[in-house]
Amino acid sequence: MKKGPMITFSQLVTVFLIGMGMWGCTTTTNQTEVSEKATPKWHQEIARISELAKADSSVSDFVQMTLVPDTLGFYLPAIQSPVAAHSNGVWVLFGGRKAGLHSMNNNPPAFNTLQANDSIWVVDLANQRSMGVPVPPSYFKYLAASSQQYFQDGDLLYVNGGFTFSDSSSTLVSNWTSDAFFEINVPSLIQYVTIGGTSPDLDQVFTKFLRDPYLQVTGGEMIESNGNFYIVGGHNYQGAYQPGKTGKYTNAIRKFELSMVGNAWAVTDTLTLSDPENLHRRDFNLAEVILPDEDSIGVVIMGGVFTPDDMAYQSPVYINGLASGNPSIEVDTVTQQNVNLYSSAKINSVMAAGEYRVNRIALLGGITYKAYNKDSGGLVIPPITEVLPFSNLMSSYYTNGEDETVELVQLPPNELLPGYLGTNAVFFPVSDYLYGSSSNVIDLNKVFPDSVTGPVLVGYMYGGILSPAAITFSPRGPRSTTTNPVLYEVYMSIPNVNQ
């Protein structure tokens, strides 16, 4: 696909909205002119969007999100930080933990192995049932890990690393970062669980398995493009958790390929892009974006921890060149992300108007830098004793996928999250709305065709950590967090269209 005319990103958003029929007014860009039939209200709306790149996060998004609890007639396990995949509307989950936020003072000991998710779960929402089987013993310590890196491409799921135990028979807590890599056939894994863990044979389910020190990472993210694998960020934490102890950050993007060496699969063609300033991150969101060149894929790092001041990172980092095997990064030094700076449920989506593409990334909760203040009705920085609180906010990020970002935060009178949710949660998209062959990106043109304005069910938020308050420390002692047991339906709507 050829690139469209060179216009600014804010103009591009405007062009898209007019092209979708959301606005009926005239605008002229550098090389693009769109005719219109407008009301004064839409004139004002165009001016607002055109100024988005200069606006603060209090500007309202034209796409609104709503979460509604799903009433289930079957058992649904509650897990945080799992590996998640889907096939034909059926979900699969493994790894992660069955408890909330780990203790910060090791009383009780953090990352107890009894709280690790030791099962592989299949969830069939359409038929209202779930099935679970134990993780195969030969792969137990790898697949039961928390905070693994993973990426789904069609029927294949790639998984590596995570924080787990070196020997399940001799330790009561996680004490090792895994160096394992799996290629998993998702339909075969679903069949394996559905049948009760007896068929098909494991080599038909786990189609590749290898170990390599280059892959020893937890808390990072993974992406694959054109046979090139990338582990982005993360760290290597060795030994049991100790307050104040940090893992060894990769500070890098680690690229590799897989090749047969002798009779076994091995890591080959490695390349490391290091940047201790911008890639010293873990527990961030890595969002997929669609680029203008032949619909190629890029990614953007949103947030992550910890800076030298023990804060979260606020500058988005764009990673391009994935298909070629030569990654490069571009740091957005203009936008400072204000909310939802920790791993959370995320919705990757793209909207198109002719040759143009605008990516929309939605983050549901997590841990935040700024919080909503009821008195002011806006965002504020909490006091120093309450830094990086849990979030009850939904935010969206419009981007060209290359170097520009606009953050919008959904604030009252629009809806907040129904609690302090989303940290280490996952989002399952409705497969009918996926973009092209993607397993992870929603096509907003399918969500809002013609005059449809919603609300439209686009997916589900599952699991993660549920906190009773923004800050869990109190004069009476710490407040306990749990895993979120409620499955939430996620709706999108465009409430102001045609009004």
pLDDT at 275 (0 to 100): 98
Domain boundaries of the chain, sorted by first residue: 1-55, 56-493
- Asked whether residue 50 carries a pLDDT value surpassing 60, the answer given is no
* Nearby residues of 117 by Cβ (< 8 Å), 6 or more positions away: 77, 79, 82, 93, 94, 95, 96, 97, 98, 144
At 55-108, the pLDDT tens digits run: 555 567 889 999 999 999 999 999 999 999 999 999 999 999 999 888 777 678
Confidence of residue 13 (pLDDT cuts 50, 70, 90): low
- Kindly report whether the global pTM for this prediction surpasses the value 0.85: yes
- Asked whether residue 307 carries a pLDDT value surpassing 70, the answer given is yes
Percentage of residues of the chain with pLDDT beyond 90: 72
Greater confidence (364 vs 472) lies with 364
pLDDT at 108 (0 to 100): 80
- Asked whether residue 1 carries a pLDDT value surpassing 50, the answer given is no
pLDDT at 151 (0 to 100): 99
Confidence of residue 37 (pLDDT cuts 50, 70, 90): very low
pLDDT at 60 (0 to 100): 73
pLDDT at 351 (0 to 100): 87
| Cα–Cα distance, 178 to 165 (Å, whole number) | 8
Within 10 angstroms of residue 43's Cβ, the number of other Cβ atoms is: 16
Give phi and psi for 37, each to the nearest 5: -135, 105
Confidence of residue 173 (pLDDT cuts 50, 70, 90): confident
Least confident range of 79-83, 235-239, 354-358, 414-418: 354-358
> In whole angstroms, how far apart are CA 89 and each of 214, 244, 367, 382, 494?
34, 42, 29, 40, 25
pLDDT at 169 (0 to 100): 59
Least confident range of 28-37, 245-254, 267-276: 28-37
Contact call for residues 459 and 428 (beta carbons, < 8 A): yes
pLDDT average, residue stretch 30-54: 40
pLDDT at 438 (0 to 100): 94
pLDDT average, residue stretch 3-31: 41
Rg (CA), the chain: 22
pLDDT at 476 (0 to 100): 63
At 136-172, the pLDDT tens digits run: 999 999 999 999 999 999 999 999 999 998 876 567 8
Averaged pLDDT score across all residues of the chain: 88
pLDDT at 475 (0 to 100): 63
At 406-416, the pLDDT tens digits run: 999 999 999 99
Confidence of residue 461 (pLDDT cuts 50, 70, 90): very high
Percentage of residues of the chain with pLDDT beyond 70: 85
Greater confidence (369 vs 112) lies with 369
- Asked whether residue 358 carries a pLDDT value surpassing 50, the answer given is yes
Greater confidence (37 vs 200) lies with 200
pLDDT at 25 (0 to 100): 36
The class of domain 56-493 in CATH terms is mainly beta
Within 10 angstroms of residue 292's Cβ, the number of other Cβ atoms is: 16
pLDDT average, residue stretch 270-285: 98
| Cα–Cα distance, 59 to 347 (Å, whole number) | 20
Greater confidence (385 vs 6) lies with 385
At 399-443, the pLDDT tens digits run: 989 988 999 999 999 999 999 999 999 999 999 999 999 999 999
pLDDT at 33 (0 to 100): 35
